[in-house]
């Protein structure tokens, strides 16, 4: 594909992800954080201006910067995503009748997502090292 077309596709994906993330702010079943991170990824490949704008947002900027620099998912987000994933998948798996293979696939997908989320650090390594050494002054590095 031509670079211009690829940039356009990334831009469209970024705008779509950002819209879904915005809807997720008011619709509790739609996760906001993954869509905003996806939008930042897409904008980093399509629009430097929109990428910078996202990084400078008060609410999502620090989270995106920590994700891009360190692969960090804050503990609060881990707990929230775990609760939502388990709550949303438990009802159909436990109380609805459908093929056990589909139930196993759904359970495996949730388990895979949980393992991934909990395998990411909760704080940047530099901040964790400072805290472990007793030199944490509460300021972000």
- Enter the tokens of residue 58: 């008060």
Q: How far apart are the first and last CA of the chain?
A: 40
The per-residue pLDDT for range 105-130, each reduced to its tens digit, is 988 988 998 898 899 999 887 666 66
**pTM, full prediction:** 0.65
Sorting pLDDT into bands at 50, 70 and 90, what band is 141?
very low
Q: Assign 59 to helix, strand or coil.
A: coil
**Residue pair 35/17 in contact by the 8 Å Cβ criterion:** yes
The pLDDT of 38-60, averaged and rounded, is 93
**Residue pair 45/7 in contact by the 8 Å Cβ criterion:** yes
Q: Where are the alpha helices (DSSP H) in 1-141?
A: 3-26, 33-46, 48-55, 61-70, 75-95, 100-119, 125-132
Average pLDDT over the chain, rounded to whole?
Answer: 85
Lowest mean pLDDT, pick from 77-81, 88-92, 127-131: 127-131
């Amino acid at each position: 594909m031509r670079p211009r077309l690829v940039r356009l596709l990334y831009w469209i994906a970024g705008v779509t992800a950002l819209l879904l993330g915005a809807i997720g702010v008011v619709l509790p079943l739609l996760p906001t954080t993954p869509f905003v991170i996806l939008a930042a990824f897409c904008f980093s490949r399509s629009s430097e201006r929109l990428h910078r704008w996202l990084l400078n947002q008060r609410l999502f900027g620090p989270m995106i910067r920590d994700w891009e620099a360190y692969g960090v998912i804050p503990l609060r987000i881990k707990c929230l995503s775990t609760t939502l994933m388990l709550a949303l998948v438990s009802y159909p798996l436990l109380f609805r009748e459908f093929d056990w293979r589909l139930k196993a696939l759904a359970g495996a997908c949730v388990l895979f997502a949980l393992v991934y989320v909990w395998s990411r650090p909760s704080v940047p390594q530099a901040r964790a090292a400072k805290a472990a050494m007793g030199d944490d002054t509460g300021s972000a590095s």
